[in-house]
């Protein structure tokens, strides 16, 4: 089944990839504040849960795809202390914020700008790959996942944190109202980019989650292990190994 393509700027003739880059460049200065404010700080707990899951294997070479402003990267540097830590993102604006954060906390991370569908690293370069709220923004999800499988070492693990859709009453209804009405209004008010926070709930609505996402991982070169819904299913953590 072909998934509908949702883009941030509906009046633009640019492809999704270029629009996503522009969107994150536009909101990079306010991104951290908005993330924590609009999620009531719950997103910090989700990232810490990924770190706890990763600690079981203590990976020495970590790639954080769609690293954004580096929140997860920072936690990895502080708590996992790998020998190699790389943050990879399409938006230079987001990477600039991440660099300041890494320097402030003394984290020796490489920050590389690039496209997740064409990752500039050799096959088998990393023991673990993470993506927090990034795969939903890929222009071609399967191609991006296949690239991550390529640069992951045999037996290495992929950890994905992505928004999903709550199903239980009344949280499904409450979350639906918040994401469609409140979040775009506050996002526009604070960031100045109305499209960015209209795009968020629209992209979540069409993105695969749960068993469907596990099936896509399997087709893209991974052996899915499990998925863990968090906060009543607002987001989900997916864990898979390289097949």
44 CB-near residues (< 8 Å, 6+ apart): 36, 71
**Domains of the chain as residue ranges with CATH:** 16-165+207-242 (3.40.50.150)
What is the reported pTM?
0.94
- Cα–Cα distance measured from residue 126 to residue 60, given in angstroms and rounded to the nearest whole number: 8
> What was the pLDDT predicted at 190?
81
Q: Which helix (H) or strand (E) holds 151?
A: helix 141-151
- Alpha-carbon gap, residue 98 to 87, rounded angstroms: 9
**Which segments of the chain have a pLDDT < 50?**
none
Report d(CA 239, CA 50) in Å as an integer.
Answer: 10
Task: Name the average pLDDT for the chain.
Answer: 94
DSSP state of 8: S
Cβ atoms of residues 224 and 243 within 8 Å = no
Give pLDDT, residue 1: 52
Q: What digits encode the pLDDT tens for the residues 12-34?
A: 999 999 999 999 999 999 989 88
Task: Write down the pLDDT at residue 139.
Answer: 95
2: enclosing H helix or E strand: none
- The pLDDT of residue 39 is 83
Question: How high is the pLDDT of residue 214?
Answer: 97
pLDDT confidence of residue 200: 86
pLDDT of residue 2: 65
């Amino acid at each position: 089944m072909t998934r509908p393509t949702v883009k941030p700027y509906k009046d633009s003739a640019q492809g999704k990839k270029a629009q996503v880059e522009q969107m994150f460049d536009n909101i990079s200065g306010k991104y951290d504040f908005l993330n924590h404010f609009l999620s009531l700080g719950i997103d910090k707990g989700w990232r810490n849960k990924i770190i706890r899951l990763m600690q079981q294997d203590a990976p020495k070479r970590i790639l954080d795809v769609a690293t954004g402003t580096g929140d997860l990267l920072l936690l990895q540097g502080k708590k996992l202390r790998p020998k190699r830590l790389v943050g990879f993102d399409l938006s230079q604006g987001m990477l600039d914020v991440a660099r300041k954060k890494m320097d402030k906390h003394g984290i020796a991370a490489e920050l590389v700008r690039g496209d997740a569908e064409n990752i500039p690293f050799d096959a088998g370069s990393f023991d673990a790959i993470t993506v927090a709220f990034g795969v939903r923004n890929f222009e071609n999800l399967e191609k991006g996942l296949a690239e991550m499988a390529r640069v992951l070492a045999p037996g290495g693990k992929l950890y994905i944190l992505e928004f999903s859709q709550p199903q239980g009453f009344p949280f499904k209804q409450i979350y639906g109202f918040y994401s469609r009405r409140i979040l775009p209004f506050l996002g526009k008010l604070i960031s100045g980019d109305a499209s960015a926070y209209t795009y968020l709930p629209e992209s979540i609505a069409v993105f695969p989650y749960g068993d469907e996402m596990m099936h896509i991982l399997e087709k893209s070169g991974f052996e899915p292990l499990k998925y863990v819904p968090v906060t009543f299913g607002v987001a989900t953590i997916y864990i898979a190994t390289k097949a």
